[in-house]
Chain A
């Protein structure tokens, strides 16, 4: 069973999905961050493959990607770092990046490398649904991986249904029409959207992402979905604590779970 399906099946509480950029703040932080996130209670981890032109991401994630590339991160290096990670953790792992990176590595080689190190799913925001169906889906499903798709407030109900048919694992519900990290609070318009999609009774569970930054917004998002995704807020916390990546990671997760107060965060 895919580890994403297993955790969605096994855990009733709010699922916490955290994104980090591989190779940031330091090239070799990847394993330490994954293990610290897992220890502190993260349910799903999204490993960002740093990209020069990440059009679906905001400035915080782009800057972390630029720094990671400067640090020397490549896909080859990343797969090397993830080698045998499954001897240490069973937390579901996703790779998040852009289609050009996968194309240049080679789709089949990419899937094989992902499979070898124990990746469970992929998020490729600029991969169109029809290209996925025609050129990619068979290879992904044969490898037992899930392709995660995004929906937004502008996505029509008809299209959401189609995405629900194609998607595996969960649906990444973009909370508002905005780039990652751009918004702070949940607005009435977002509530309407959450209720609308809630009522659609989709086969895949939903995780809400974009603008989730602390315990309060995490809790709010979880009222409307199985869990939530945090990216920029975690990257910002790492940026402020580059010299103590492991403890900073653990305290961040605890603060989202509210096991320590938000004020403990520097």
Chain B
């Protein structure tokens, strides 16, 4: 029985200008867990994910990584974190290969594959040297997915990762996620899509109703 959760949120609340968005969110995630955050628009899914990624600071409550409060292990946690937000964080005037190069330097890069191999894996063979603005929205999303192949981070936070991606892309992403958790990684994602993956946890945030429940 692993006693210490890999990632945990204890009674996390967020209020914008004293208006509570959600209150007392508690999550415990162990290696191999996938958590799908659901809820109607405006229920705070993105906010919750951005809090876990430390882009936002919670109004109250604590985020812990391997049992330690984030404030004391910030650098270690950030090195162990991969966050994909609404915007794909792809530079439109750079080529996919150049975007990769930039991420390799920003992330802890442990991948054994070359840029070309990675781009081939995400289905962008032949597009390596075109500027990203000439790619479709779905292809740009795929460029963003390449980060999952580069990074050695164990914690993946994915905000609506299936946006604009075609069927094969969805399959690819699910495969990446499955292999990540089978290696002991942790995933938190928000999506309205039903995942084809086995045994993932779900939690539902309710709009404007305090005390979102965690259904394990």
Indicate whether A and B interact. Answer: no
